[in-house]
Structures are given as structure tokens and as C-alpha cells.
Amino acid sequence: MDIKNEERRITDPVMGKPNLEVFAKTLEELAAADRDLVVVTSDSRGSGKLGPFGENFPAQIVETGIAEQNLVGMSAGLASCGKKVFAVSPACFLTARALEQIKNDVAYSDQPVKLIGISAGVSYGALGSTHHSLHDFAVLRTIHNLTIVAPADKFETEESVKWAYGYEHPVYIRFGKKAMPVLHDNNSGFVYGKGIEVRGGNDLAIIATGECVAPALGASLKLEKEKGIKARVISMHTLKPLDMKILFRAARECDGMITVEEHSVYGGLGEACASGLLANGYSLPFKILGIPDEYTVTGSQSEIFTHYGLSPGGIAAAAIKLLKTN
């Protein structure tokens, strides 16, 4: 596929849907075949796109109201009775207010609850820092027995939800609200814990997760078109466990590496990659792109991405600087 066709694919809004809508639709398909699948939600039918699910499967949804600790505790109880539970709540509240219940009732008790953090990252935009979820990767990575997944597009969303449905241990999956382009072709394979190379290149590796994979791919196209720099793009959909094999291969084959995440620069994808590389003897020019340690600016997701250099142009500029400096 040439650059023009690739650019068209990742910028055409008709091609993609919000991952959250794909998640809700996939849940309906699974629930139709399994009456033990239960959704527990905290006043999030609308924001979680669960209205049709509630109408079609009223006996398979529990509404707790705005009570995230109760939501997680009830979900753990239902899972202990054999139900396949998806606990759906805004990521900023689910992973803060209910952190103790996530740690003790779900992870340490090994209850196979699927914790679904919706409107994650800076999806809530203008509602400001109280509604941003920039801590969830960092805090949940420290909890034993909890897998962390951030799908990038329709394909990764469908596959991760289907995988989580059959997985018998705790999982956290985060979704944003933006319509995402189709990033994968029909030959892409989804394997839990294994990153996916979206685009090849050996001049630079861009490791991204969730809704940052699309701008990372855009940056790769921009770099090749304008500077002749061929940047490999890897969708690291699983944050924990991290795919060290694909990370180490990129470190061996590329001249530099940038990580991109809709999360604080502390404790997320970037620091996980950096520590993995350093602990295993790898050394190369390296840059973490994310949200810095400050009061986050207010605006739409797109405006916030642009401000902090998470747009295709911002990522490309950081790449050029990294390669020139080193």
C-alpha cells in the first residue's frame, strides 16, 4: 500500500467507529449466546453505549448508580458465583475510587472480572483534570494478577473483548470515545501479550498504545513522505504483560525509539519500555511522549494531543529532534 492510500485509510472517518461502540456491540453478540454474561455499570449506560444492551438483555445488566466501590465489589461477588462479568465505569473514577476493591476483591482474590474503563485518557476533554484518566496504567501495573489492555481500533477492540470473555483471570481494558480509523489489515493477528507491527521501518521505532496508535502511524507516514525517515510503528495493545520480544527486536534493528501514550509520562508505557530495555542491556536514543507532570490544559482530546505533541506533527517533530541530537 502506498503512502497516499495509507494516509487516506487513517484519516477517513467513515472507515472507523469509536472503540466503545465496537465494545458494546461485541458484548451484545456474546450475551446473546451466553446468559451468564452480566454487565455491571455505574450510571454509564449512555456514556458506555450500553443502552441497546440494556434494552435487549435487561436480565443481564445491573445498574449500581454512581457507586464505583460497590460496582467492583458486586462484580467480584457475581464472578465468584460463575457469572462472566464486565464492570463498566468511567476510567478516571473506576481506577481511583474503587482501587482498593480492584486490588483486594478482584486481583488478589483472582476473580475473573473484566474491568472496563470508559472515556479514558483525556476523552472527557473540557471537563478537565478531575475527569482525565492519566494514572490508570501506572497504578494498575503495580497490582499483581491484573492484565492491562488498551485497544487501538475496531479490530483490536473486538479481539480483546472476545479474548477477555474467555480469560479466567482479572483484566482491565480502557476505551476512549473518539472514532478511530481502521489501522489493521485482514492479515493482522491479535494475541494477548503480543504487540503488533503496524508499519515497518528501521530508522526509528514508535511504540504506541490505545488511541495514540493512529497519530503514531500518521507520524510515520509524514516522516517518510517529508524526510525519507522510515519509522516502524508498533501497537502495544497489552501494557501488562509487555511484549519484550517485539520491543527488544525494535531496539536491535532501529536507530532510536519513541513511546506514545495518552497517559502521564510517569508509570505508563514509556517507563515500562525504558526499564525493560535498560534492565536487559539495551541502549539507544529514547523519548517518552505523554502528558507531563502539570495541571493538564483544558480542551478537546484533539486539542490536548496537539498541545502536548501527541499529534502526527508533534510525534514527527520529536522523532526528527531525537535522531538529529543523537
193 vs 28: CA distance, rounded Å: 25
Domain termination residue (choose one: 180, 214, 231): 180
pLDDT reported for residue 46: 67
Beta bridge partners of 194: 191
pLDDT reported for residue 326: 65
First to last CA, the chain: 31
Task: Judge whether 66 and 57 are in contact, CB under 8 Å.
Answer: no
User: Looking at the structure, do residues 225 and 169 belong to the same domain, yes or no?
Assistant: no
- Please list the ranges in the chain whose pLDDT falls under 50: none
pLDDT reported for residue 194: 96
Sheet order of strands, 204-208 included: 196-199, 231-235, 204-208, 257-264, 286-291
75 vs 29: CA distance, rounded Å: 20
User: Looking at the structure, do residues 41 and 175 belong to the same domain, yes or no?
Assistant: yes
- Asked if residue 7 belongs to a domain, the reply is no
- Asked if residue 310 belongs to a domain, the reply is yes
Number of domains the chain contains = 2
Q: What is the CATH number of the domain that holds 211?
A: 3.40.50.920
Predicted TM-score (pTM) of this structure = 0.94
User: Looking at the structure, do residues 270 and 227 belong to the same domain, yes or no?
Assistant: yes
The H or E element containing residue 223 is helix 213-227
Angle subtended by helix axes 312-325 and 213-227, to nearest 10: 60
- Asked if residue 41 belongs to a domain, the reply is yes
User: Looking at the structure, do residues 34 and 168 belong to the same domain, yes or no?
Assistant: yes
Range of the domain at 84: 13-180
